Amino acid sequence: MRYLNGVKDLGVVLSPDGPGGALYPWDGGGVREAVCDTEGGMYYLSYDGAMPGASRESYWNACEARSADLLQWEKLGVTMKASALTHPESSERVYKDFRSASSPWSFREGGKWYRYYLGADHCSPEGVPAFQYSTMLAAADSVAGPWRKRCDEPGCEKHICFPMGVPGTWDDATASPGQVLRNPKYEADPAHEKKYLMFYSGSCTGVTKRSIGIARTDDLEAADDFDRTAGNFWQKDPRPILPPEEDIENTSVFYEESSGWYWLFTNHIYRNSYTDAVWVYRTRDLEKWDASEKAVVLDASVCAWAKGAIGMPTVVRKDADTLAMLYDAVPGGGTGHLNRSIGLAEIALPLSFARE
């Protein structure tokens, strides 16, 4: 498969705290799934911290770090906790984020920040979030928080943004969050188009295959009880944007005005086992994607420090000539979900596939 041109890996920029470190109780088991936003001239990194111990009580919680240059990060602490920690008297039958409140994607509108995060009601014996995954809602006045989870509000304990598909559909095992964009077609046809699009991750039961779907809404606060068949939910398209045989999950979309291309950065899954690379797809229409229009961004041959598991990407424009990509990985050849760090790569603009 071809590669994206102009990718330079800069190595690890954020690592778990060791014993005695201020964040060790929260991210000592690994840092991963980082999403980068900007506010007030600073970069803010929302990342998953895995509590140390590798047990069913080693929950994954959303943490925050701040940087002026994407290289040196100041850890700010925990911003959202799994409901097992905040509502220990309850259970996964009530809170869909009982075992994990992680992988948060944030979107700013009208002076308010909305956060769409992954809720997991089960986990592995090592504390790794396990199916089913749901998309859940939080809000704040600043990307640095404090964040208010919708499920902490009285009467909203069971709220999610949209349900998984019915059995037999492509997303009947997970429907977890991705990047939110303003719909470029909305202004021309508000009577038929929704204002916001979320590129969410879905997967199926049986032999698990993964892809990306589009969910739509005019209301960024849309959410309802997970056991309702119909409610105030985002509206999901019936089919994914790419065939599930691509086996991809997580999204970060970059629009390049100079070329008119939308670039979707995502993980590739290796033999239904672990994420082994970052791929990118391109299109000029957010609703029409071609599986052949793709390239490898980062894999073991490009990454300077990880030769096994390479995890979720997020991209942010650094300057006129550079797109920055943050991602998580296991140092060396490891392929597990724990003990990860976060790396940084820079990509030359304009983006292009090799041998074009």
- Tell me the domain boundaries of the chain: 7-348
In tens, the pLDDT along 181-194 reads 999 999 999 999 99
The pLDDT of residue 356: 57
> What's the CATH architecture for 7-348?
5 Propeller (2.115)
Rg (CA), the chain: 19
Distance of alpha carbon 247 from the chain centroid: 16
Helix, strand, or coil (residue 252): strand
CB atoms within 10 A of CB 301: 9
Continuous segment of H or E residues that includes residue 85: helix 83-86
- Helix then strand then coil, in percent of the chain rounded to 5, is 5, 45, 50
Helix, strand, or coil (residue 204): coil
Distance CA 106, CA 117 (A): 8
The pLDDT of residue 231: 95
The pLDDT of residue 224: 98
- This prediction has a pTM of 0.97
How would you classify the pairing of strands 148-149 and 129-140? antiparallel
Contacts of 115 (CB under 8 A, 6+ apart): 46, 80, 104, 105, 106, 107, 137, 138, 139, 140, 147
How would you classify the pairing of strands 148-149 and 100-109? unpaired
The pLDDT of residue 229: 85
Distance CA 72, CA 12 (A): 10
Which residue has 């900007």 as its token pair?
Answer: 38
In tens, the pLDDT along 80-109 reads 999 999 999 999 999 999 999 999 999 999
Residues of the chain with pLDDT under 50: none
The pLDDT of residue 89: 97
